[in-house]
Chain A
Amino acid sequence: MDTTARPTIGRGFRLQWEPAQEAHVLLYPEGMVKLNQSAAAILTRCNGRRTVADIVTDLESTYGLSGLMQDVCAFIAIALERTWVELLA
């Protein structure tokens, strides 16, 4: 994966916090995915301004972890396949 690419939420999708479900959800036509914490942590950072590398750095410093690159790339690859995110060059 090109770690300088900037992921953003895909067209037609919307990410929001739902108090009733105590979770972030991803909404799309007539459907919804309830996100677990790590998926939400990644997707809320996909704002079209941060690169993949930025997102990894941010997550590692926020959660005091290291070596997240592989996991984040794997998740973003799945999210791309499902069109949850798009990459801006």
Chain B
Amino acid sequence: MSPGPPLWLLLELTYRCPLHCVFCYNPTDFGSVGPELETGEWLRVLEQARQLGSVQLGLSGGEPLVRDDLEIIVAAAHRLGFYTNLITSGVGLTEARLQALRAGGLDHIQLSFQDSTRVLNDFLSSTRTFELKSRVAALIKKYRYPMVLNVVLHRLNIDHVAEILDMAERMGADYVELANTQYYGWAWRNRGELLPTRAQLQHAEEVTARFRERVGAKMRVFFVVPDYFETRPKPCMSGLGRVFLGIAPDGVALPCQAARMLPGLTFPNVREASLGSIWYDSPAFNHYRGEDWMKEPCRSCPERARDFGGCRCQAYQLTGDAANADPVCDLSPHHHLVTEAVDRAERRGAAPAEHPLVFRDHRAG
């Protein structure tokens, strides 16, 4: 069966970022990744992807505003017919740049909070972070974009969901995504310090439900439950190689942003191969298509067409074999690896950190 087109194209324009978030999913060795693609190379990727049928474009990183050719890339993408989504911390988003992005046809901005623990207090207790975010939020409104906030939740900030939602309301947010941390990259390294307790999670969900009731339709709030607390895995990327194509800063093509970690696969580079041959013909993209790679219990599971066995990266990280069922699934013989991690977080309660948090840094990988 031939796969459909890569409808979703994500360009991770750079791994560079002014922030040092402990929950970042970028690879921990990003400091040693090769040179970034140049403007012309990104434009060639856009043209080829559009010919294949890509239609949604995510521009991410790192912090995409670090690239001073972002405006050129957005304008080219818009001309080609992409719906363009900028995923940013807002750091570096001046009015001049936003004006240029708007003129180039930028469709959408998702603003994330750069909430690392070093600025957590700043962030929650007002001051500099709030002012920066308010400025950017006001700009986003001025240019008539919907105000979409993304906040990554973890043990250290999940108790402040009420304050976070109040802040979002004051900023006039239209959508807020409360996304619990997914454990890849830096977040994986810091998992023991970031996993919340069940009580924390339940409290945050109750606060969110009450907030939704109070604000009604003027603001939509999504609460993404952390998959460690579930008994069925997420249908990761809607199946690898089905709709999503990611390009890393150095031109490596990936079926998921975290897939670089998967062993035994050589991911092709857009500097060396056309996007069409990468998507349709490369062994790396074909490997996890269909069901031939599956092992039991997935292979005979009636739910395999719904969740595709979950996340390959999570299976690899936790069990050492990327073809195993995602251990989030309680049918997996490795499910105890997830419940034990949750239990450890539970036993620790509010006790201080066992290990120091590792802040994202290009030297620390």
Binding site for B on A (CB under 8 A): 11-12, 14, 16, 18-21, 25, 27-32
Contact = CB atoms under 8 A, between A and B. Distances in A.
Interface residues of B, number: 17
Contacts of B56: 27, 30-32
B5 A29 contact: no
Contacts of A32: 7, 55-56, 83
Given A18-B53, A29-B148, 18 more contacts: A12-B107, A12-B108, A12-B145, A14-B83, A19-B53, A20-B5, A25-B55, A27-B55, A28-B83, A29-B108, A29-B110, A29-B146, A30-B56, A30-B108, A30-B110, A31-B56, A32-B7, A32-B83
Interface in B99-153: 107-108, 110, 144-146, 148
Contacts of B58: 30
A12 B148 CA distance: 12
B317 interface: no
Contacts of B81: 16
Interface string B1-24: 000010100000000000000000
5 contacts: A12-B145, A14-B107, A20-B5, A29-B110, A32-B7
B146 A12 contact: yes
Given A29-B108, A30-B108, A32-B7, A20 B146 contact: no
A31 B7 CA distance: 10
Nearest to B53: A20
B52 interface: yes
Contacts of B55: 18, 25, 27, 32
B38 to A, nearest CB: 27
Contact of A21 (B5, B85, B146, B148): B5
Contacts of A11: 144, 146
Contacts of A21: 5, 53
Contacts of B85: 29-30
A29 B53 contact: no
Contact of A27 (B52, B53, B83): B83
What 8 A-B pairs come out closest when comparing CB atoms? Answer: A20-B53, A27-B83, A29-B108, A20-B5, A30-B85, A12-B146, A14-B83, A18-B55
A80 B110 CA distance: 24
Most buried by A among B53, B58, B83, B148: B83
Contacts of A12: 107-108, 145-146
A27 B83 CA distance: 7
Contacts of A16: 81
A36 B7 CA distance: 18
Contacts of A31: 56
A80 to B, nearest CB: 14
A27 B84 CA distance: 10
A46 to B, nearest CB: 18
Nearest to A29: B108
B144 A29 contact: no
Contacts of B83: 14, 27-29, 32
A25 B108 CA distance: 17
Interface string B241-276: 000000000000000000000000000000000000
A62 to B, nearest CB: 25
A20 B82 CA distance: 13
Nearest to B58: A30
Contacts of A29: 83, 85, 107-108, 110, 146, 148
A16 B82 CA distance: 10
A43 to B, nearest CB: 16
A87 B81 CA distance: 25
Contacts of A19: 53
A32 B81 CA distance: 13
Nearest to A17: B81
B88 to A, nearest CB: 14
A11 B204 CA distance: 32
A20 B52 contact: yes
Contacts of B146: 11-12, 29
